[in-house]
Amino acid sequence: MNDLFYKIKNYFFNNSTIIKKFWINQFASSLLGIMITWPVRIYAEKHPSLGSVPELAALLFCGGFFCFLIYDIMYEAGSKDCVRINHQNVVYDPFKALKLIMFSYIPTIFFTVLGVIFFVFGFGDGFAVISLIMNIVIHAMYVGFFFMLPVNINILAFPISILITVIFGCLAYYLGVRDKTLRGVFGIKVNTKKE
């Protein structure tokens, strides 16, 4: 048990910069989600003719902004590892991005699993508390997604939002390790010369 604790502690301290950036960006994006999504939701309720378009726009903006921040963190980590792999003969770990994101997401995953358990077993009060924590403190950037789904399946918003973030983070790390840019993948020329 001490060996496992030592490995976890060592992993955290070796990657603490990335993990802390991830947590700060998650919290800041959650605040952004509250500041944008909740007023948009109130506006949409007062103007029902708009349907779910305002919530969808808020979700795309806030969720997209968070994914961009995670992309930036993981691309930078991949770029640093590219240098280490090419010049310092460090062995490439194809699962490093997945491990980093999942380790950084431990609090979110914990609350997601609790929420699913409470939802499945009918603990409505427990699910309400978890839903508040997720939609206000931890994952408010995706709260529009939670509100857009029907009540009987809105619990799926939590794992799906985690999956979206994991996909963006892994893509960024993969491109960073290969010294490619997302713009280059789409055929947009990148000017590397600075004026």
Q: Can you list the alpha helix ranges (DSSP code H) found in 88-154?
A: 96-104, 106-120, 124-132, 143-148
Cβ pair 177, 85 in contact under 8 A:
yes
Within-domain flag for 189:
no
Within-domain flag for 195:
no
**Three-state DSSP class for 181?**
coil
Cβ pair 142, 59 in contact under 8 A:
yes
Provide DSSP, 40-88.
Answer: HHHHHHH-GGGTTHHHHHHHHHHHHHHHHHHHHHHHHHHHHHHHHHHHS
What is the rounded CA–CA span in Å between residue 9 and residue 13? 6
Within-domain flag for 141:
yes
The number of angstroms, rounded, from the C-alpha of 174 to the middle of its chain's C-alpha atoms is 16
- Show the domain range for 129: 2-183
pLDDT in tens, the chain (195 residues): 778 888 888 988 988 999 999 999 999 999 998 899 889 988 988 999 988 888 889 889 998 999 999 999 999 999 999 999 988 888 888 899 999 999 999 989 999 899 889 988 888 888 888 888 888 888 888 887 777 777 777 788 888 888 999 999 999 999 999 988 877 777 777 666 655
Within-domain flag for 192:
no
Within-domain flag for 13:
yes
Cβ pair 158, 62 in contact under 8 A:
no
* The pLDDT value given to residue 52: 82
What is the rounded CA–CA span in Å between residue 92 and residue 151? 43
Within-domain flag for 177:
yes
pTM of the model: 0.84
Within-domain flag for 194:
no
Between helices 2-14 and 16-46, what is the axis angle to 10°? 80
Within-domain flag for 188:
no
How many folded domains does the chain comprise? 1
